[in-house]
Chain A
Amino acid sequence: MAKKNSDGYLSARESRRISRENRKITNEYEKKRKRKDVPEEEYLTTMHDPNNAVEFDNLHTYFFTDAGTVKAVDGVTYEVPIGKTVGVVGESGCGKSVTSLSLMQLLQRPQGQVTDGEIRLNLGDKAYDVTKAPDEVLQKIRGNVVSMIFQEPMTALNPVFRIGEQIEEVISLHNESGMNEAQMKARTIELLEMVGIANSEGVYKMFPHELSGGMRQRVVIAMALACNPRVIIADEPTTALDVTIQAQILDLLRNLKDKINSSIMFITHDLGVIAEMADYVVVMYAGRIVEKGTSDDIFHHPAHPYTIGLMASKPVVGKKVDKLYSIPGKVPNPINMPNYCYFKDRCEMCVEGCDGAYPCEVKLSDTHFVSCYRYYDKKED
């Protein structure tokens, strides 16, 4: 681990040493990735449960920065079942976006690398481990099998191309059925109508700046749906929008999901949105999952102190409290994580066991899991 001098800054020499070491590690990963003609057997895998669209299995994604190694995702395991919505909640910097970027393999390389674990993606007749798949295979998967709705509709669209061109690009890149240009245009207009844009012919010819925030987000959603993906990653799709527009977009996503029967990974920090959208909820804290379960488990029987604190700290309309609960302290430094429970320093419900190693997952019911020492007496083994 990086040594620091008394005032908390790294010396130049120390920083150089770290970056030299990092280069050695990342070069190795990059070399592996850049091989040509990788045999399919290497990344072919089988799903543990064929009803899942995606399985994250003990995923570790690290960033090798000049200040030290950031363990952005540190052993994350969860499943996204086919046709269901999984909500991922957590504060900024807890690794929820990095998990989804690992699935798309769009991490900031060479610093960001999946160092361990598997992400199994169900392709119907076969399953791929995307962490081992080479770039050419990934290019066929991205936008086609897995697609992403980004947070900021303002920056996700290219300002110098017309809306129609931008959506058509996605279709033509994954043009498996051999559509001609007129068919692609018809498909684009059909998509625009599907996301509730009334003036679809007009919008087809418009530039992004001519549209409002809500309309732009609809276009981004249309783009994500262009190839009927099996998995849609929605990375805070409504955070930049107003409540009234947010209600429109959430309605739209819910209806579309049923129409094309895909799974949604819904990433947000708004618990209200999660309650409305998600079938399953995953709560992340400092790169690890602290609690996961059905949305009924999480909202009616929250178990982890962090989940409980998170819910208490959000004011709810109609429930008057004198003082909001606030979780004391702050998230630990990601470069220098403690070797005990990451939440212990902020936790007000500590028990004796909390000084020990990071708690492992305890099963509370068939669907409900929590990583906390308070539930160790319920552990079966």
Chain B
Amino acid sequence: MSDNNNLLIENKFEPVTYDPQYILMVNSLKKYFPIKGGMISKTVGYVKAVDGVTFNLKRGTTMGLVGESGCGKTTAGRTILRLSGEKTGGQVLFNGQEVYDLSSKEMRALRPKMQIIFQDPFSSLSPRLPVGEIIGEAVREHNLVPKEEFDDYIDSIMDDCGLQPFHKDRYPHEFSGGQRQRICIARALALNPEFVVCDEPVSALDVSIQAQIINLLEELQQKHNLTFLFISHDLSVVEHISDTVGVMYLGSLVEYGKTEDIFRNPLHPYTKALFSAIPVPDPDFKMKRIVLEGSIPSPANPPKGCKFHTRCANCMARCKEETPVQREIEPGHYVVCHLYDK
């Protein structure tokens, strides 16, 4: 199995130049995880978790990242924040600065600017720390506020996120799921970030609580001029909250554009199938559903050519051979598919 092809890492891309209207520019980002095997644990292959993701994110907007589980949404989010070791290839420019070029000291100074809200509010809070300490720990670590103002600062952050001051001395187990997610949001916001990755912040919550958290995120975004990368598999939530949407399949971005464009006029066959699968709360609504056969292929051994060709209804001969490139179909609407080659 371990022929050289499996171990070859292609890392060719056109470097982008910084454009100040974008807070984040991601160019051909790749993150492979090695598969170890054999007697001496040598690398026999790679799991291509993120394999060519390119997008730009404007200041103060929200980008939704959707896709099936296992398509690399979360890894993409973490790789952008430099939270999962070194990248395999590509560029991540945060305010024009390549994140992976920074020394650990510089990185530490940058950390407060980019934060993350994790998916599961039940496992992402330390059960041993009181809530005030959870929220304030990083603030103290980075010396963001003087000691005498510290308590007031934490109170004001908690108030922003809909928590009461007396919650400060309580422990996470005393809170419900929605309130825990508020604590996670407060923890991320306490550092006064510019950019927040929200990794499925509402998927562990009930419908009525979901609405509260989504509204809270939108309020905070306006108040603090935040930029969100909103990772979710719930398309209706993504449509509600995002300005731009990226659709991921097997590690790559297959379609990317403004929310209205994507939902009004989905181009990629995968996006079409994904959107037709959304259940609509109306019993009279009959949609022609495109049911995708089979399941997502293994990212350790992705299909040749277009990665989607094994499940695609419009598969052509060249899809099996040639890898499609990203094309701009209408202004700001990009798609990676041979169907739209001129």
Docked CA distance A61–B65 (Å): 43
Q: From residue B298, how far is it (CB to closest CB) to chain A in Å? A: 10
Residue interface bits A231-260, CB-to-B below 8 A is 1, else 0: 000000000001111111011000000000
* B206 contacts A92, C-beta separation under 8 Å: yes
Residues of A within 8 A of B279 (CB): 243, 246, 250, 270, 272-273, 275-276
Residues of B within 8 A of A270 (CB): 207, 279
CB under 8 Å from chain A, chain B span 90-138: none
Knowing A271-B281, A272-B279, A275-B279 touch, does A313 contact B273 (C-beta < 8 A)? Answer: no
CB under 8 Å from chain B, chain A span 73-103: 91-92
Q: Does A132 lie at the interface of the complex (its beta carbon under 8 Å from any beta carbon of B)?
A: no
Residues of B within 8 A of A31 (CB): none
User: How many B residues have CB within 8 A of the partner chain?
Assistant: 39
* B235 contacts A326, C-beta separation under 8 Å: no
Residues of A within 8 A of B285 (CB): 275
Our pick among A276, A316, A323 for the contact of B215 (Cβ within 8 Å) is: A323
Q: Does A46 lie at the interface of the complex (its beta carbon under 8 Å from any beta carbon of B)?
A: no
* B207 contacts A310, C-beta separation under 8 Å: yes
Residues of A within 8 A of B207 (CB): 91, 269-271, 310, 313-314
Q: Does A175 lie at the interface of the complex (its beta carbon under 8 Å from any beta carbon of B)?
A: no
Our pick among B178, B218, B233, B291 for the contact of A251 (Cβ within 8 Å) is: B291
Q: Does A47 lie at the interface of the complex (its beta carbon under 8 Å from any beta carbon of B)?
A: no
Stretch among A176-184, A185-193, A200-208, A211-219 lining the B interface? A211-219
Residue of A nearest to B219 (CB): A323
Our pick among B68, B212, B263, B291 for the contact of A242 (Cβ within 8 Å) is: B68
* B263 contacts A212, C-beta separation under 8 Å: no
Stretch among B45-53, B236-244, B314-322 lining the A interface? B236-244
* B236 contacts A314, C-beta separation under 8 Å: yes
Q: Does B283 lie at the interface of the complex (its beta carbon under 8 Å from any beta carbon of A)?
A: yes
Knowing A243-B233, A275-B282, A275-B285 touch, does A313 contact B210 (C-beta < 8 A)? Answer: yes
Residue of B nearest to A270 (CB): B279
Knowing A275-B281, A315-B239, A330-B178 touch, does A242 contact B233 (C-beta < 8 A)? Answer: yes
CB under 8 Å from chain A, chain B span 214-252: 214-215, 218, 233, 235-237, 239-240
Our pick among A213, A295, A316 for the contact of B280 (Cβ within 8 Å) is: A316
* B277 contacts A243, C-beta separation under 8 Å: yes
Q: Does B292 lie at the interface of the complex (its beta carbon under 8 Å from any beta carbon of A)?
A: yes
Our pick among A273, A274, A326 for the contact of B211 (Cβ within 8 Å) is: A326
* A315 contacts B277, C-beta separation under 8 Å: no
Q: From residue B182, how far is it (CB to closest CB) to chain A in Å? A: 12
Q: Does B69 lie at the interface of the complex (its beta carbon under 8 Å from any beta carbon of A)?
A: yes
* A213 contacts B275, C-beta separation under 8 Å: no
Residue of B nearest to A252 (CB): B291
Residues of A within 8 A of B239 (CB): 315, 317-318
Knowing A243-B274, A275-B282, A275-B285 touch, does A213 contact B211 (C-beta < 8 A)? Answer: no
Our pick among B68, B69, B215, B240 for the contact of A326 (Cβ within 8 Å) is: B215
Residues of B within 8 A of A250 (CB): 279
Q: From residue A254, how far is it (CB to closest CB) to chain B in Å? A: 12
Residues of A within 8 A of B233 (CB): 242-243
Q: Does A327 lie at the interface of the complex (its beta carbon under 8 Å from any beta carbon of B)?
A: yes
Q: Does A12 lie at the interface of the complex (its beta carbon under 8 Å from any beta carbon of B)?
A: no
Count class of interface residues, chain A: 35 or more
Q: Does A299 lie at the interface of the complex (its beta carbon under 8 Å from any beta carbon of B)?
A: yes
Q: From residue A309, how far is it (CB to closest CB) to chain B in Å? A: 7
Residues of B within 8 A of A309 (CB): 208
Q: From residue A126, how far is it (CB to closest CB) to chain B in Å? A: 34
Q: Does A1 lie at the interface of the complex (its beta carbon under 8 Å from any beta carbon of B)?
A: no
Our pick among A246, A275, A296 for the contact of B277 (Cβ within 8 Å) is: A246
* B206 contacts A317, C-beta separation under 8 Å: no
Our pick among A215, A300, A316 for the contact of B236 (Cβ within 8 Å) is: A316
Residue interface bits A344-366, CB-to-B below 8 A is 1, else 0: 00000000000000000000000
Knowing A270-B279, A321-B240 touch, does A313 contact B295 (C-beta < 8 A)? Answer: no
Knowing A242-B68, A324-B215 touch, does A317 contact B275 (C-beta < 8 A)? Answer: yes
Q: Does B323 lie at the interface of the complex (its beta carbon under 8 Å from any beta carbon of A)?
A: no
Residues of A within 8 A of B276 (CB): 247
Docked CA distance A273–B236 (Å): 13
Docked CA distance A248–B69 (Å): 15
* B236 contacts A245, C-beta separation under 8 Å: no
Q: Does A325 lie at the interface of the complex (its beta carbon under 8 Å from any beta carbon of B)?
A: yes
Binding site for B on A (CB under 8 A): 91-92, 212-215, 242-248, 250-251, 269-276, 278, 295-296, 299-300, 309-311, 313-318, 320-321, 323-327, 330
Binding site for A on B (CB under 8 A): 68-69, 176, 178, 206-212, 214-215, 218, 233, 235-237, 239-240, 263, 273-285, 289, 291-292, 295-296
Query: Considering the complex of A and B, which 8 residue pairs feature the smallest CB-CB distances, nearest first?
Result: A272-B279, A313-B211, A315-B240, A326-B211, A247-B277, A271-B281, A242-B68, A324-B211
Further pairs besides A314-B281, A325-B211, A330-B178: 9, Cβ < 8 Å: A214-B295, A243-B235, A272-B278, A275-B285, A276-B280, A278-B283, A315-B240, A320-B240, A324-B215
